[in-house]
Structure formats: C-alpha cells, structure tokens
Amino acid sequence: MELKFKSIGTVRNSRKTPTDDHWEEVISEIELSDDIPTEAFDGISGFSHLEIIYCFDKVKSNEIVFSSRPRGNPDFPVVGIFGQRKKDRPNAIGLCTVEFLEHSARKIKVKYLDAIDGTPVLDIKPVFKEFQLKGKIVQPKWVSELMKNYWK
C-alpha cells in the first residue's frame, strides 16, 4: 500500500548537510506550513518535550539499505535496518524526542533535533510521561559506542 503525507512544517537550523555527530549544539526552529493554522500550536508551551516526525527528504531510493554495519564501522555487527536508526530507510521517516524551548506565533524552537535545515516535518506530538517506557531499556554494546559523540 502506498501512503501519501504532506509536510506540516519545515526545520530551520545551522546544519546544511547530514552529519552523524555533535547535534547538541544545534537549536532548530520549526515553522508551520502556510496551510496549517497558527492555532495548531495552541497549548504546546505547557510541555517540556516533543516528538518530531520528519522526512529524510534527501535520501535517494538507490541509497536505501536493509542490512549494514552501522556507520560502516567494521567493529560493529551487520544489523538490519530495523535494528538501527540509519537515515537510509525504506520510508525515509525520522523520529526524534526534543526539548521544547519556545513558541512564537507560527514557530517553535527546540533542542536535540537531528534534522538538517529545510527538512520537512510530518507531525509534532507532545511527550506524555504516561506514554514513556515502563521497563528497563536494553541495547547492544555497540550502540553506546556509536552514540558517544552524537549529542556532544
């Protein structure tokens, strides 16, 4: 089944090309698309964190992978695309939990969004603590190595 989505907003920030690390310093602004009314942001200021769903719109269909070593690192195991968070995904959808900083008219500012300037935003959802995980998070050892500089 083919699905169609349209952008509800656009990311604006200092990152012009996709890179793997040092996203903590990036502050992003998300501006609503012209056809989304300003009141879509009503009540958003009551939340500390948001989930941003966005499109990796620069990924080309010939770049999609289903199995690889994360970041091509020979020290990491070969894992399927659903066992990693690589951008070269079958549906090119990204998801990131961000810290909400500020709301002004048709824009919000957030921290910890790993999307480059011009990225189309598909949806924004507030983080409800009741939806957060109830159990312990378990992950392979290689993930911590891969992520050690991501937020620096």
Domains present along the chain, CATH in parentheses: 9-147 (2.40.30.70)
Quick: pLDDT tens for 62-83.
889 999 999 999 999 999 999 9
Which pLDDT value is given to residue 60?
87
In the predicted model, is pLDDT for residue 111 greater than 80? yes
The per-residue b/e assignment along 7-37, b for 16 or more CB within 10 angstroms, e otherwise, is bbbbbebebeeeeeeebeebbbbbebeeebe
Give the burial class of 114: count Cβ atoms within 10 A of its Cβ; 0-12 exposed, 13-18 middle, 19 or more buried: buried
Quick: pLDDT tens for 7-30.
999 999 999 988 888 888 899 999
Q: Find the mean pLDDT for residues 48-62.
A: 94
On whether the CB atoms of residues 36 and 8 are closer than 8 A, the answer is: yes
58 against 109, higher pLDDT: 109
Q: Which helix (H) or strand (E) holds 4?
A: none
On whether the CB atoms of residues 51 and 97 are closer than 8 A, the answer is: yes
